[in-house]
Amino acid sequence: MTVTQSNRNTNLDKPILIDSVQCFDTNDQLVTDYVESPLQLAPMATTEYVIERTDDKGGTGANFIVVWGAEAPVYEPVVEAVMISTS
């Protein structure tokens, strides 16, 4: 399946920082961290990471951990992963 992992800043006027988006495989082993250095996500902005259908490193039970923060009080981001396959 193709996986799209997205992180949405739900704040109208404050940025957030995405520090890490880690993908772990079915056996709890770190596959990759998609963020090389902290990423500032503007108000109401979204960042996404796509894992192609042919990439099977994560297995069927892959998990994501997103580490984020902000310099001021903010609403939590919406973090979601969507898996889809068509043929």
Greater confidence, 3 or 38? Answer: 38
Q: Quote the pTM value.
A: 0.83
pLDDT tens-digit profile of 64-82?
999 999 999 999 999 998 8
Q: Report domain extents, the chain.
A: 2-71
Q: How far apart are CA 3 and CA 25, in angstroms?
A: 13
Q: CB-hemisphere CA count at 13 Å for 72?
A: 5
pLDDT of 87 reads 66
The residue count for the chain:
87
CB 32 within 8 A of CB 51: no
